[in-house]
Structure 1
Amino acid sequence: MEGFLNELKRLSITVPNVVRLYCSSVYLNWRNRNEVAHGKNAKPVSVFVAKIIFTAFLISNPLIASWGANLPGEFQNIWHPPPPGWIKINVDAALLTSYFAGIGGCFRDDKGRLLIAFGEKRMHWDIATLELDAVMTIRKFIQPWMLECKGLILEGDNLNVIKFIQNSLNKAKWQSYNRVEENLLFLADFNKVLFIHVHRNCNRVANMCATLALENNFFFDSSSFPCIPRSLTSILKKECEPLI
C-alpha cells in the first residue's frame, strides 16, 4: 500500500488529471458500496461511466469547469460548504403578484458559518431580472479581506440566469452583454470565480433572505448576528447540522 501511495503521489505531479480521474472513480465506487451497506439500491455501472466521462470532460475543459459547472444530481438536494479557503455566496429573489419584490443573499465560509446576509426591496415584474440584480448587488457587500480567499462560488437556482451570466462572461460575447460585463467586473479581483446552478433545496437561506426583504431592507454581519430573525437562523442551523 505504501508503494502504491508513493506512486500515486509521483503521478500527481507528472499527470495530475489522471490521478484526479482515478480518485473520482474510487470515491464513486466507495459511495455506492456505502449506500448499499445502508440499505439503498446499487447504482448501475452506466451511471459511474457517465460521471467519469463528465469529470474527464471538465478536466479537459477548465473554462467550462470554472464558469459553467453544474453539480452532479446527488449533490443537489442539500447545501454544501465551499472548498477550504473559499467563500460561497447564494442569491435569490422573491416576487409577489403586486410586483413588490425582494432580492437577497448570504455569504458563508468553508465551515458553513454565516459571514453576511442581506436583503433589499424592489419593484419589478420579471423574476429573472430580479435574480440577475441579486447577483450584481453582492458587489456592495464584498469586504476587502474577501479578495484574499482562494476563490468565490456563486450559486443560484434560476438556470436561465446562471447560463446568461456564463455567456456574458465569455470573452467572445462581451460585446453583446456590456451591461452585465460592467456590473460584474468587480469579480475580476478574485483569484477564481465559479457560477453554479443548484436545486432550490440548496438555496433556502438565500430564498428566506429574499422573502424577508419583501418587508424591509436588511444587512447582517458579525456585529449584528443577534438581530437575525429566527426564521433565518433556523434554516441556517438545519443546513449546518450535517457539518458539525
Structure 2
Amino acid sequence: MISATTYGLNQQSQVGEVNYSSRLNWMKPPEGILKLNCDGALSRENMASCGGVIQDSDGRFVVAFTGKLGMCSILKSELWAILHGLRILVNRNLGRQVIIESDSFTAVRLVNKGCFGSHPYFDLVQEIRELSNQFSLFSFYHILREVNLVAAILAKRRMVLEEDFFVYESPPSFIYHLLLAYNSAFLSIY
C-alpha cells in the first residue's frame, strides 16, 4: 500500500476505514504505477452499464472499456466496472502496480473490507479481492464524482452502443478532450 504522501493526497483521510480523497482534480499516479478510474451507470429503465480508463504515470491513455450489464443495481455495476478493469490489467499483463479510483463509497468499502458470504454481491467482491492479490501494489480510493468524469462518460456511453463489451485501444473522441484537460490541469497546478 502506498502512502498518502507518496501519492500526493494531502487532503486524503480515512472515512469508515475507506481511503477517501476530497481533491477536485484528477491526479497522475506515481512513476511506474497505473491508475484505473471506473464507474457504473444506470438508465431510466434500470439498465446498467460500466466503464473505465487506465492511464500511466505520465497521464497517457493506456486502454479504456465499456460494458452493458443488463438490469442490475448501481452498486453491482460499480463492482463490475472494477472487475472488468482488473481483468484487463491482468489479462494484458499491463503492470502489477495499480491505483483504482471509484466514486462509489460502498464499492470501495466492500473491496477494501470484504463482505459476508450471504451478501448479494459476495461472488463479485471475492473475485475482485482475489484478482487484487496478483498485484504487488493495489490501492483503492473513493474519489469525488467530479474527478471521475472520464469513467462516467464511458459507462454512460455504453447505453447507446450495440456491443455488449468494447475495449478502446486508443482514446475515443468523446473522452479525448477530457483526457487533455486532466493533463493540462495537472501541468498548470503542479
Stretch of structure 1 that moved more, 130-139 or 107-116: 130-139
* 1:212 paired residue among 149, 152, 157: 157
What residue is the counterpart of 1:120 in the other structure? 67
Per-residue deviation, residues 112-146 of structure 1 (Å, max 9, x unmatched):
11101000112124111110111111233112141
What residue is the counterpart of 1:240 in the other structure? 183
Give yes or no for the alignment of 1:189 onto 2:134: yes
- What is the distance in 2 between the residues matched to 1:211 and 1:188? 30
The count of residues paired between Structure 1 and Structure 2 equals: 171
- What is the distance in 2 between the residues matched to 1:97 and 1:196? 28
Which stretches in structure 1 are left out of the alignment for 5+ residues?
1-16, 29-50, 59-63
- What is the distance in 1 between the residues matched to 2:74 and 2:47? 11
Give yes or no for the alignment of 1:203 onto 2:136: no
* 2:20 paired residue among 47, 50, 70: 70
Give yes or no for the alignment of 1:158 onto 2:104: yes
Q: How does 1:25-174 map to 2 (within 5 A)?
A: 68-71=18-21, 73=22, 75=23, 77-142=24-89, 143-147=92-96, 151-168=97-114
TM-score, structure 1 as length reference: 0.63
Per-residue deviation, residues 146-175 of structure 1 (Å, max 9, x unmatched):
12xxx211110011111121111xxxx676
- What is the distance in 1 between the residues matched to 2:43 and 2:117? 34
Which AA in structure 1 matches 2:175? Answer: L
Structure having the larger proportion of residues in helix: 1
TM-score, structure 2 as length reference: 0.79
Structure having the larger proportion of residues in strand: 2
SS at match of 1:182: helix
Q: 1:119 to 1:145 in 2, by over 3 A?
A: closer
Among the aligned pairs, what percent are the same residue? Answer: 23
Q: 1:145 to 1:175 in 2, by over 3 A?
A: same
- What is the distance in 1 between the residues matched to 2:52 and 2:150? 7
Which stretches in structure 2 are left out of the alignment for 5+ residues?
none
Query: Higher relative CO (CA 8 A, sep ≥ 6), structure 1 or 2?
Result: 2
Choose 1 or 2 for highest CA Rg: 1
